[in-house]
């Protein structure tokens, strides 16, 4: 995830999809036509502490969203 800070922040603030995590965390996803790998979704797992505060747990690229997770938000 070297040099991906801007994309991580963009994924959290402007996601294409948010899924529910297993332990109260949120999973933001954003599709990128060009990534360090190929065409991929960037996944950012994060936790909201308050309406204005939270933290990122991890981030990674994946070929598609998880089909088993509940979708909380989608445009």
* pTM recorded for the entire structure: 0.93
Query: CA 25 to CA 22: how far, in whole Å?
Result: 7
Convert the pLDDT of each residue in 9-21 to its tens digit: 999 999 999 999 9
> Residue 38's pLDDT is what?
86
Alpha-carbon dihedral of residues 18, 73, 11, 46, nearest 10 degrees?
A: -40
Convert the pLDDT of each residue in 11-47 to its tens digit: 999 999 999 999 999 999 999 998 877 889 999 999 9
> Residue 73's pLDDT is what?
97
């Amino acid at each position: 995830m070297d040099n991906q800070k801007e994309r991580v922040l963009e994924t959290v603030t402007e996601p294409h999809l948010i899924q529910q995590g297993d332990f109260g965390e949120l999973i933001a996803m954003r599709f990128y036509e060009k990534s360090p790998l190929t065409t991929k979704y960037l996944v950012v797992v994060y936790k909201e502490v308050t309406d204005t505060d939270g933290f990122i747990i991890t981030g990674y690229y994946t070929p598609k969203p998880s089909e088993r997770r509940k979708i909380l938000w989608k445009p």
